[in-house]
Amino acid sequence: MNADEASPLERALLAAFGAGLVFGAGLALSAMTHPEKVLGFLDLSGHWDPSLLLVLGSATGIAGIAFPLILRRKAPLLMPGFEVPSATRIDPRLAFGALLFGLGWGISGYCPGPAIALLAALPGSGREALLFLPALLIGSWIGRWSALASVSKWSLETGGLPLANLG
């Protein structure tokens, strides 16, 4: 089957798979799949490793150039329209979630992308990811459950806000 015969869903899945491969390769190349590297970057009082600033700087620079160019288009290549977040303020839930994410990353040295990419290293160093990922999924489920519970409570009290906005 060539690209012209593929359905829009197949094209989107293929593009997502390709983007995931590039992302995973970038994580492996930058050593972000190794928690020691990340923890070394976060250890400002010990033997600080500033090399991840190159990763952060290059990602930020590319995104800063690419996003304005991409958003000039009427629609993405494989979707009917852009899904740009509408929230413009930092609320307590966002701040608390960011704090939890940062604490978890700082304690373990893992964040979701590198942990998933590290599964490719099984059975070697990927074993740690097998411990991290179930905790990630449980935490995500608790977060989703608490968000649905708080929205449902708010909706009952005010008579508004459709649950469809939670995706």
Range of the domain at 137: 87-167
Question: Taking Cα atoms as reference points, which of 140, 91, 132 lies closest to residue 111?
Answer: 132
Please state the rounded mean pLDDT for residues 49-76.
90
Buried b / exposed e over 100-132, threshold 16 CB at 10 Å, is eeeebbeebbbbeebbbbbeeeeeeebebbeeb
- Residues 8 and 75 reside in one and the same domain: yes
**Domain's final residue, options 65, 84, 103:** 84
Q: How many domains does the chain have?
A: 2
- Residues 80 and 98 reside in one and the same domain: no
- Residues 19 and 98 reside in one and the same domain: no
Average pLDDT over the chain reads 80
pLDDT at 166: 47
- Residues 60 and 96 reside in one and the same domain: no
- Residues 102 and 63 reside in one and the same domain: no
One-letter identity of residue 100: L
pTM (two decimals): 0.61
**Domain's final residue, options 84, 115, 135:** 84
Question: Could you report the per-residue pLDDT of 25-41, keeping only the tens digit for each?
Answer: 888 888 888 888 888 88
Q: What is the DSSP letter of 124?
A: T
pLDDT of 157 strictly over 80:
no
